[in-house]
């Protein structure tokens, strides 16, 4: 189905209300002098399936077509040097035949040249400016000041691939799929029950540098009830509704306060197309426009 832009924005804002944590502006693709250009692949990004939750308003329909975001791979990490205070944001994504590897450094020694290593291969260098800021963007179809992928660029990049920028080192981890499409947003699912039109819900995924959260919210369910929350075929916990039949629960791989533990293996398996169920409600995660989803380089 097709949603108008103002409807998409409204849906995204409603999910954004679920957030109770602030995101810091360390995003290497953000605006500003040091930001990196983050453009969609040639021919435009893959089509998005917009989803959202409205506690009020019209009913919702599940996505009418299978999302294509599962074809995208987005990995990244945040590196730091405790001695100098330098940091580096690393992002790797592959969408179809489009591949991009980007690194932005801040707080490094001014006018320094740093080797950038991926796996066992030095893929490029970053020369910092007088403020200790520098960047490197490699792509198989470079634009602007981007550089071409070197001939020996690794072809087996995956979760756990080592990456180093000067003295800083780490490993790539799974990141949200949406940044690879050139759109802000995250994964979300509208939860519906064909036999109960008054009940609906939404599940949204947020991935930080070191943590993944699954936020689930429902309305119109039976009052004061305990509902199993299932991801794929695994029951990961329960959601308890209030006297109005509404409820919310946040699952996290690193829970605090009233958050519930999200199993690491479940978090790693979450992707577009994953089914999320709460009691009788069910839906599939799909790419959703909006700013509720985290982006590479953001951290808690």
The answer to whether residues 255 and 231 belong to one domain is yes
161 compared with 292, residue with greater pLDDT: 161
Q: Which range among 52-61, 108-117, 211-220 shows the weakest confidence by mean pLDDT?
A: 52-61
The answer to whether residues 91 and 168 belong to one domain is yes
The answer to whether residues 66 and 190 belong to one domain is yes
- 281 vs 270: CA distance, rounded Å: 18
- 21 vs 73: CA distance, rounded Å: 26
Within a domain: 29: no
Does the pLDDT at position 45 exceed 50?
no
Domain limit, last residue, from 116, 147, 174: 174
Q: Which range among 66-70, 104-108, 134-138, 207-211 shows the weakest confidence by mean pLDDT?
A: 66-70
Residue 237: give its domain's CATH number: 2.60.40
The answer to whether residues 215 and 267 belong to one domain is yes
Domain limit, last residue, from 158, 174, 190: 174
- 142 vs 148: CA distance, rounded Å: 6
Within a domain: 107: yes
Please report how many Cα atoms fall inside a 13 Å half-sphere around the Cα of residue 216, on the Cβ side: 32
Contacts within 8 Å (CB) and 24+ apart, 207-211: 207/174, 207/175, 207/176, 207/293, 207/294, 208/294, 208/298, 208/299, 208/300, 209/76, 209/77, 209/78, 209/173, 209/297, 209/298, 209/299, 209/300, 210/254, 210/299, 210/300, 211/252, 211/253, 211/254, 211/300
Domain limit, last residue, from 147, 174, 201: 174
The answer to whether residues 117 and 170 belong to one domain is yes
Residue 208 — very low, low, confident or very high, per pLDDT cuts 50/70/90? low
Number of domains composing the chain: 2
The answer to whether residues 53 and 198 belong to one domain is yes
Quick one: 234 exposed, middle or buried, by C-beta within 10 A (0-12, 13-18, 19+)? exposed
The answer to whether residues 225 and 279 belong to one domain is yes
49 compared with 253, residue with greater pLDDT: 253
Residue 115 sits in which domain range?
A: 73-174
Q: Which range among 4-8, 165-169, 268-272 shows the weakest confidence by mean pLDDT?
A: 4-8
Residue 37 vs residues 32, 103, 179: alpha-carbon distances, Å:
10, 12, 12
Residue 267 pLDDT: 85
Within a domain: 191: yes
pLDDT, tens only, 69-101: 335 677 889 999 988 899 998 988 776 678 889
The answer to whether residues 198 and 250 belong to one domain is yes
pLDDT, tens only, 136-195: 999 888 877 889 999 999 999 999 999 999 999 999 988 654 433 333 346 889 999 999
User: Tokens representing 158?
Assistant: 């995956």
The answer to whether residues 190 and 165 belong to one domain is no
Residue 121 pLDDT: 96
Within a domain: 114: yes
Q: Which range among 52-66, 79-93, 165-179, 252-266 shows the weakest confidence by mean pLDDT?
A: 52-66
Residue 254 pLDDT: 83
The answer to whether residues 120 and 134 belong to one domain is yes
Does the pLDDT at position 54 exceed 60?
no
Does the pLDDT at position 107 exceed 60?
yes
The residues near 281 (Cβ < 8 Å, ≥ 6 apart) are 191, 192, 193, 199, 200, 201, 218, 221
Within a domain: 242: yes
What is the average pLDDT value for the chain, to the nearest integer? 75
């Amino acid at each position: 189905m097709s949603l108008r832009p103002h409807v998409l924005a409204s849906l995204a804002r409603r999910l954004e209300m679920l957030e109770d944590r602030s995101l810091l502006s360390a995003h290497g693709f953000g605006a500003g002098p040091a930001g990196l250009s983050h453009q969609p692949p040639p021919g435009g990004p893959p089509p998005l399936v917009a989803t959202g939750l409205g506690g009020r308003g019209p009913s919702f329909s599940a996505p009418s077509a299978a999302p294509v975001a599962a074809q995208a791979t987005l990995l990244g990490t945040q590196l730091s040097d405790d001695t100098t205070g330098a940091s580096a944001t690393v992002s790797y994504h592959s969408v179809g035949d489009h591949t991009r590897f980007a690194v932005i450094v801040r707080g490094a020694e001014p006018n320094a040249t740093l080797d950038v290593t991926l796996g066992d291969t030095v893929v490029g260098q970053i020369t910092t400016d007088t403020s200790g800021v520098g960047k490197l963007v490699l792509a198989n179809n470079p634009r602007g000041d981007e550089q071409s992928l070197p001939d020996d660029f690794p072809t087996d990049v995956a979760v756990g691939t080592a990456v180093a920028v000067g003295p800083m080192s780490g490993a790539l981890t799974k990141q949200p799929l949406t940044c690879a499409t050139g759109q802000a947003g995250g994964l979300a699912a509208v939860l519906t029950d064909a036999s109960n039109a008054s009940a609906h819900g939404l599940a949204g995924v947020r991935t930080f540098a070191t943590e993944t959260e699954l936020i689930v919210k429902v309305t119109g369910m039976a009052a004061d009830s305990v509902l199993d929350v299932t991801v794929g075929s695994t029951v990961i916990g329960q959601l308890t509704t209030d006297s109005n039949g509404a409820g919310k629960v946040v699952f996290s791989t690193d829970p605090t306060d009233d958050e519930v533990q999200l199993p690491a293996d479940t978090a790693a398996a979450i992707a577009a197309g994953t089914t999320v169920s709460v009691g009788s409600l069910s839906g599939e995660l799909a790419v959703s426009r909006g700013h509720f989803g985290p982006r590479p380089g953001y951290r808690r």
